[in-house]
């Protein structure tokens, strides 16, 4: 048993390369189930004899379930054994995937989808779990690798569901993922080190209240949540409108072609790792600034590239690179705020993040109907410009605070306590508060080294 008092680094030696790869793979498989239905709606509707409206509700059910899980389940990682919580959610996801696969009718399918998405937030428990195991100087890289698993899971899920449906029908991909999730639960149980609660003794209602209170009490979390929400709103404009654009002339692509084109987003995986390394070297603010500027510039390019495939590809690549850089730098900042409340912080941040994405998608549907691709390009650019404004405001506020602290020091007054920022170097500003409660890591008895 190893105890590290009041440090966000619980036991970095436990986080070997194999364990990191396992966590990234597990998170990808966990979120994949929320995307399987998107290319299969017509097939599902015919098989279960339901209308297109009910079939389309499957996508909404997945989004609803995931949002509820972020709010109701992810904060539990601060008050329970995180290995037990992670494994339990993976087992539940496997069971609910099986329920979805065996659904005899539409209502059961919807129920299975909601429950699967609810439990799939186990991925969002694993991410701060990895951050807690990582040394501060490598936390950005570690979070980037695990988040890359989530990104690839969402991207490849649509391709996998289409391919497997041709082999054995729409249910096949759910059965396969249920088996894989059960296997992941076993592997995580065997290889994850125990990471007991860092804020034990908080009742569940108080836990939920404190999650909301963090947004009010932590200005850094509030600003970074707003940047994240606007960035995903901007990115979601592209995700929603791209299908409309490629389906009409001059493109006229099929559904399978549009789905394969979406794999361009896989380039964001490389960005996550690279951005994480830069964050670890103390350049988190530069990464954020470059990301929000590239996000805005990519929309300018897309606005004039609607009928030019090469420029369209360049713009989409730019959006993916920018979005992943902004997300990773945001996480580097918020995970350093309160190590004792990392899961609640992740819950608040990710809830805001996905809420922004939902708003962006909803706005896109309205704007597309009124003005087509030029109008949605303008919408995406405006939302992206909002992230630039927020980032600049953050930097201006930090500069004023630093000048005030220097002035107070010259006058002999105590320096004001700085706002919390990531522990990644001088560029990122102030250091994180220590954890309120020492964390203890207990390795499984049979485990002598990382995976």
Query: Tell me, what's the pLDDT at 259?
Result: 66
Give 252-305 pLDDT, tens digit per residue. 887 667 767 767 777 767 777 788 888 888 899 999 999 999 999 999 999 887
Alpha carbon distance 137, 130 (integer Å): 13
**Would the pLDDT of 194 be above 90?**
no
Alpha carbon distance 180, 178 (integer Å): 5
Distance of CA 42 to the CA centre of its chain: 28
β-partners of residue 2 are 441
**Would the pLDDT of 126 be above 80?**
yes
Give yes or no: residues 429 and 445 share one domain. Answer: no
Query: Tell me, what's the pLDDT at 403?
Result: 77
pLDDT tier for residue 3 given thresholds of 50, 70 and 90: very low
The answer to whether the beta carbons of residues 342 and 131 sit under 8 Å apart is yes
Question: What's the pTM?
Answer: 0.79
One-character DSSP codes across 71-92 = HHTGGGGGTS-HHHHHHHHHHH
The answer to whether the beta carbons of residues 270 and 282 sit under 8 Å apart is no
**Would the pLDDT of 14 be above 60?**
no
Cα torsion for 53, 56, 58, 63, to the nearest 10°? Answer: -120
Give yes or no: residues 52 and 147 share one domain. Answer: yes
Relative to beta strand 2-4, strand 439-441 is: antiparallel
**Would the pLDDT of 419 be above 80?**
no
Q: What angle do CA 291, 215, 425 make, to 5 degrees?
A: 45
Cα–Cα distance list, 33 to 17, 134, 158, 356 (Å): 26, 28, 10, 21
pLDDT tier for residue 144 given thresholds of 50, 70 and 90: confident
**Would the pLDDT of 213 be above 90?**
yes
Q: For residue 43, what are its two tokens?
A: 């097939």
Give yes or no: residues 185 and 87 share one domain. Answer: yes
Which domain does 341 fall in, by range? 207-434
**Would the pLDDT of 423 be above 50?**
no
Give yes or no: residues 270 and 291 share one domain. Answer: yes
Q: Who contacts 42 (Cβ-Cβ below 8 Å, separation ≥6)?
A: 52, 55
Question: What is the tally of structural domains in the chain?
Answer: 2
Give 91-115 pLDDT, tens digit per residue. 999 999 999 999 999 999 999 999 9
Closest CA to 334 of 423, 435, 213, 437: 423
Residue-averaged pLDDT of the chain: 83
Arithmetic mean of pLDDT, 409-436: 48
Q: Output the domain CATH number for residue 426.
A: 1.20.1250.20
Arithmetic mean of pLDDT, 391-398: 91
Query: Tell me, what's the pLDDT at 152?
Result: 87
Give yes or no: residues 191 and 254 share one domain. Answer: no
Q: For residue 346, what are its two tokens?
A: 């992740």
Closest CA to 157 of 32, 273, 42: 32
Give yes or no: residues 303 and 365 share one domain. Answer: yes
Give 224-258 pLDDT, tens digit per residue. 999 999 999 999 898 878 878 887 888 888 766 77
Arithmetic mean of pLDDT, 72-89: 92
Cα torsion for 234, 237, 242, 244, to the nearest 10°? Answer: -160
Q: For residue 105, what are its two tokens?
A: 């009718």
Give yes or no: residues 60 and 27 share one domain. Answer: yes
Give yes or no: residues 234 and 186 share one domain. Answer: no
Least confident of 75-84, 276-285, 356-365, 411-420: 411-420
One-character DSSP codes across 312-358 = HHHHHHHHHHHHHHHHHHHHHHHTTT-GGGHHHHHHHHHHHHHHHHH
Give yes or no: residues 359 and 409 share one domain. Answer: yes
Query: Tell me, what's the pLDDT at 285?
Result: 93
Give yes or no: residues 369 and 426 share one domain. Answer: yes
Give yes or no: residues 296 and 417 share one domain. Answer: yes
Least confident of 27-31, 234-238, 259-263, 426-430: 426-430
Arithmetic mean of pLDDT, 146-159: 86
Give yes or no: residues 13 and 112 share one domain. Answer: yes
Give 40-80 pLDDT, tens digit per residue. 877 888 888 887 667 768 877 888 899 999 999 999 998 88
Query: Tell me, what's the pLDDT at 177?
Result: 96
Q: What percent of the chain has pLDDT over 70?
A: 83
Query: Tell me, what's the pLDDT at 434?
Result: 44
Q: What are phi and psi of 91, to 5 degrees?
A: -65, -45
The answer to whether the beta carbons of residues 418 and 429 sit under 8 Å apart is yes
Q: What percent of the chain has pLDDT over 90?
A: 44
Query: Tell me, what's the pLDDT at 307?
Result: 72
């Amino acid at each position: 048993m190893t105890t590290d008092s009041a440090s966000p680094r619980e036991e970095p030696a436990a986080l070997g390369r194999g364990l990191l790869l396992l966590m990234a793979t597990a998170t990808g498989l966990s979120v994949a189930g929320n995307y399987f239905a998107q290319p299969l709606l017509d097939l599902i509707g015919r098989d279960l004899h339901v209308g297109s409206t009910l079939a389309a509700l499957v996508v909404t059910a997945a989004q609803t379930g995931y949002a509820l899980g972020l709010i109701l389940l992810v904060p539990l990682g601060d008050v329970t054994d995180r290995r037990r919580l992670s494994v339990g959610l993976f087992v539940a996801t496997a069971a609910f995937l099986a329920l979805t696969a065996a659904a005899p009718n539409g209502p059961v399918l919807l129920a299975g989808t909601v429950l699967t998405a609810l439990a799939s937030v186990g991925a969002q428990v694993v991410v701060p779990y990895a951050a807690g195991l990582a040394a501060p100087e490598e936390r950005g890289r570690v979070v980037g690798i695990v988040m890359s698993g989530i990104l690839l899971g969402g991207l490849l899920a649509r391709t996998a569901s289409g391919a497997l449906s041709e082999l054995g029908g729409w249910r096949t991909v759910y059965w396969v993922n249920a088996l894989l999730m059960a296997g992941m639960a076993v592997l995580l149980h065997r290889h994850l080190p125990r990471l007991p609660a860092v804020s034990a003794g908080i009742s569940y209602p108080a836990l939920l209240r404190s999650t909301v209170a963090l947004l009010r009490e932590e200005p850094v979390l509030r600003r970074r949540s707003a940047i994240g929400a606007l960035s995903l709103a901007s990115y979601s404009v592209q995700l929603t409108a791209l299908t409309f654009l490629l389906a009409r002339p001059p493109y006229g692509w099929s559904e399978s072609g549009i789905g394969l084109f979406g794999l361009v987003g896989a380039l964001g995986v490389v960005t996550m790792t690279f951005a994480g390394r830069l964050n670890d070297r103390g350049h988190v603010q530069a990464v954020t600034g470059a990301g929000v500027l590239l996000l805005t510039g990519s929309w300018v390019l897309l606005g004039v590239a609607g009928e030019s495939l090469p420029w369209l590809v360049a713009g989409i690549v730019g959006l993916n690179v920018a979005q992943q850089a902004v997300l990773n730098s945001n996480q580097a900042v918020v995970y350093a705020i309160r190590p004792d409340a990392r899961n609640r912080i992740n819950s608040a941040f990710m809830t805001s993040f996905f809420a922004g994405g939902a708003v962006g998608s909803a706005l896109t549907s309205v704007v597309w109907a009124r003005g087509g691709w030029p109008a949605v390009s303008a919408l995406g650019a405006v939302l992206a410009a909002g992230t630039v404004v927020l980032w600049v405001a953050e930097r201006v506020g930090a500069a004023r605070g630093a000048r005030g602290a220097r002035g107070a020091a010259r006058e002999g007054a105590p320096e004001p306590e700085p706002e919390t920022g990531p522990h990644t170097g001088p560029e990122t500003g102030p250091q994180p508060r220590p954890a309120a409660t020492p964390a203890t890591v207990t390795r499984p008895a049979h485990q002598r080294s990382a995976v």
